[in-house]
């Protein structure tokens, strides 16, 4: 029998089932990737990793650099970009290095990185999915309760929510750190494998395979099914609400002036503009991760004989590549759907010959924004001062006017 392994830490549950099945199956000749397919796989993974890293790094730089982009929703998008950045640095390189380059079960990075990389990849995938859930909730509340100021996801609340998402992701994925470890396969080589019997010290009863199946089901529910159902419900609610022409919240205003109604409509339209972008990102997440979740968590448990299929490596490779593609395409969606993001992209890439950037229209660098706010405050203060009666001008300090008037807008 030919030795056949696939080890790409984000799929360890599937991979260990594969290894056990193949070790118990005699006389099965399992096909490996051909030289041409291996070359193509290395090229694709390398390109995906580079593009995902560059695109998400630009997203992080743009949001952190421009104050106007530091909104609550954009902080969550920043959280998504950080997750995708870690995927491009960890999941993609290790997948093509360990799976495609090595035909055996060798692990050359040591016991700590065997645990850490497997754990980290599960954490970032959890963070990615639940950040999309929070964004969908934020958009739903913003549409349903336009006039309420308590449902606004400001920057501070978004940072707290992001921290909670990472904390929960760290806790949910923690068993993967405990069950992973290196195992010597010959005199000098080690393999990185997953063994749930390492949890015996916790007093958990049951065989390792049973615990593995239960944990796989929980991961499938928490990382894919539940987030997907929540996202579908929230955007369905948004769609039903947006079907009506009346601005949500306007009915609660018995005497709504033309100015206040105009501001309400303007805020409503600004909220609507973000919905297509986050909806596309969520739909792509569901579509890109569907093949891998079906393969790892459904097909393997329903029919374990699929693990001995001669083209299982090709099937896994295609499913994994589609899943990784989600981290690549997100920056392009932000660029196409958001004018301010587009302007920030062009500013960061302005030195490239194919990028045209002349001036800021929607954004403003931090130093220029402070100067503009200072000058605006002076003008407003002087106008307010000149509008006072002559007898009162001498008693009114321009500094006090500047403090009490519209300087807070800056």
Give the CATH number, domain containing residue 322: 1.20.1070.10
Arithmetic mean of pLDDT over the chain: 74
Residue 164 lies in a domain: yes
Q: Which pLDDT does position 68 carry in this prediction? A: 87
Percent of the chain with pLDDT over 90: 14
Binned at pLDDT 50, 70 and 90, residue 160 comes out as very high
Residues 273 and 384 in one domain: no
3-state secondary structure of 255: coil
Number of domain units in the chain:
2
Which residue in 297, 18, 9, 326 sits closest to 173, CA to CA? Answer: 9
Residue 120 has pLDDT above 70, yes or no: yes
Spell out a b/e string for 177-207, using b for 16 or more CB atoms within 10 Å of the CB, else e.
Answer: bebbbbeeeeeeebbbbbebeebeeeeeeee
Q: What is the mean pLDDT of residues 380-398?
A: 47
Q: According to the per-residue pLDDT averaged within each range, which of 15-24, 123-132, 278-287, 384-393 is highest?
A: 123-132
- Domain residues for the domain of 241 are 9-348
Q: Which residues pair with 286 in a beta bridge?
A: none
Q: Which pLDDT does position 254 carry in this prediction? A: 45
- pLDDT tens per residue across span 392-408: 444 444 444 444 443 33
Which residue in 293, 283, 281 sits closest to 10, CA to CA? Answer: 293
Residues 161 and 120 in one domain: yes
Q: Which two tokens stand for residue 187?
A: 């005199």
Residue 284 has pLDDT above 60, yes or no: yes
Q: According to the per-residue pLDDT averaged within each range, which of 196-210, 294-308, 367-381 is highest?
A: 294-308
Q: What is the mean pLDDT of residues 79-99?
A: 82
In this structure, of 79-83, 319-323, 358-362, the range with the lowest mean pLDDT score is 358-362
Residues 278 and 162 in one domain: yes
Residue 360 has pLDDT above 60, yes or no: yes
Residue 309 lies in a domain: yes
Residues 267 and 401 in one domain: no
Residues 309 and 393 in one domain: no
Residues 35 and 177 in one domain: yes
In this structure, of 192-206, 238-252, 310-324, the range with the lowest mean pLDDT score is 238-252
Q: What is the mean pLDDT of residues 60-80?
A: 91
Residue 366 lies in a domain: no
Residues 290 and 398 in one domain: no
Residue 272 has pLDDT above 80, yes or no: no
Q: Which pLDDT does position 36 carry in this prediction? A: 81
Q: Which pLDDT does position 397 carry in this prediction? A: 47
Residue 166 has pLDDT above 60, yes or no: yes
Residue 28 has pLDDT above 70, yes or no: no
In this structure, of 255-269, 276-290, 301-315, 333-347, the range with the lowest mean pLDDT score is 255-269
Residues 260 and 291 in one domain: yes
Residue 353 lies in a domain: no
More confidently predicted of 156 and 313: 156
Q: What is the mean pLDDT of residues 122-138?
A: 90
Q: Rounded to an integer, what distance in angstroms lies between the CA atom of residue 408 and that of residue 398? A: 15
Binned at pLDDT 50, 70 and 90, residue 148 comes out as low
More confidently predicted of 298 and 386: 298
Binned at pLDDT 50, 70 and 90, residue 83 comes out as very high
Q: Are 406 and 377 in contact (CB under 8 A)?
A: yes
Residue 383 has pLDDT above 90, yes or no: no
Residues 82 and 181 in one domain: yes
Q: Rounded to an integer, what distance in angstroms lies between the CA atom of residue 81 and that of residue 131? A: 10
In this structure, of 21-35, 87-101, 125-139, 313-327, the range with the lowest mean pLDDT score is 21-35
Q: What is the mean pLDDT of residues 103-114?
A: 76
Spell out a b/e string for 113-135, using b for 16 or more CB atoms within 10 Å of the CB, else e.
Answer: bbbbbbbbbbbbbbbbbbbbbbb
Residues 389 and 292 in one domain: no
Residue 167 has pLDDT above 70, yes or no: yes
- pLDDT tens per residue across span 205-219: 656 667 777 888 888
Q: What is the mean pLDDT of residues 167-192?
A: 84
Binned at pLDDT 50, 70 and 90, residue 30 comes out as very low
Residue 241 has pLDDT above 60, yes or no: yes
Q: What is the mean pLDDT of residues 353-373?
A: 71
Residue 124 lies in a domain: yes
Q: Which pLDDT does position 263 carry in this prediction? A: 54
Residue 167 has a CB neighbour count (10 Å cut-off) of 11
Residues 343 and 381 in one domain: no
Binned at pLDDT 50, 70 and 90, residue 123 comes out as very high
Helix (H) or strand (E) holding 191: strand 190-194
Residues 94 and 51 in one domain: yes
């Amino acid at each position: 029998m030919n030795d056949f392994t696939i080890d790409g830490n984000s799929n360890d549950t599937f991979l260990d089932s594969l290894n056990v099945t193949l070790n118990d199956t005699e006389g099965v000749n399992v096909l490996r990737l051909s030289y041409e397919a291996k070359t193509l796989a290395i090229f694709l993974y390398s390109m995906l990793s580079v593009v995902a890293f560059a695109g998400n790094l630009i997203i992080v730089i743009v949001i952190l650099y421009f104050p106007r982009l530091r909104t609550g929703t954009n902080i969550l998008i920043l959280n998504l970009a950080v997750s995708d950045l870690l995927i491009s640095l960890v999941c993609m390189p290790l997948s093509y290095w360990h799976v495609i380059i090595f035909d055996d079960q060798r692990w050359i990075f040591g016991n700590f990185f065997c645990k850490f990389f497997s754990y980290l990849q599960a954490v970032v995938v959890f963070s990615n999915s639940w950040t999309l859930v929070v964004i969908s909730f934020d958009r739903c509340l913003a549409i349903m309760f336009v006039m309420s100021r308590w449902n606004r996801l400001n920057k501070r609340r978004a940072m707290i929510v992001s921290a909670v998402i990472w904390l929960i992701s760290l806790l949910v994925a923690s068993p993967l750190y405990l069950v992973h470890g290196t195992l010597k396969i010959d005199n000098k080589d080690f393999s990185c494998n997953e063994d749930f019997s390492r949890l015996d010290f916790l007093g958990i009863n049951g065989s390792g395979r049973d615990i593995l199946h239960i944990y796989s089901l929980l991961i499938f529910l928490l990382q894919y099914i539940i987030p997907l159902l929540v996202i579908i419900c929230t955007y369905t609610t948004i769609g039903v609400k947006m079907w009506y022409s009346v601005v949500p919240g306007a009915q609660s205003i018995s005497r709504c002036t033309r100015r206040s109604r105009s501001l309400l409509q303007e805020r409503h339209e600004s909220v609507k503009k973000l919905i297509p972008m986050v909806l596309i990102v969520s739909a792509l997440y569901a579509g890109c991760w569907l093949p891998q979740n079906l393969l790892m968590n459904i097909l393997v448990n329903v029919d374990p004989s699929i693990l001995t299929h001669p083209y299982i490596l090709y099937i896994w490779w295609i499913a994994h590549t589609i899943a990784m593609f989600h981290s690549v395409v997100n920056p392009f969606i932000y660029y196409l759907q958001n004018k301010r993001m587009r302007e920030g992209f062009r500013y960061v890439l302005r030195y490239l010959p194919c990028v045209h950037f002349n001036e800021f229209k929607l954004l403003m660098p931090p130093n220029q924004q402070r100067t503009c706010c200072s000058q605006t405050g002076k003008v407003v203060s002087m106008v307010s001062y000149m509008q006072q009666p002559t007898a009162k001008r001498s008693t009114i300090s321009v500094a006090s006017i500047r403090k009490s008037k519209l300087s807070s807008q800056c």
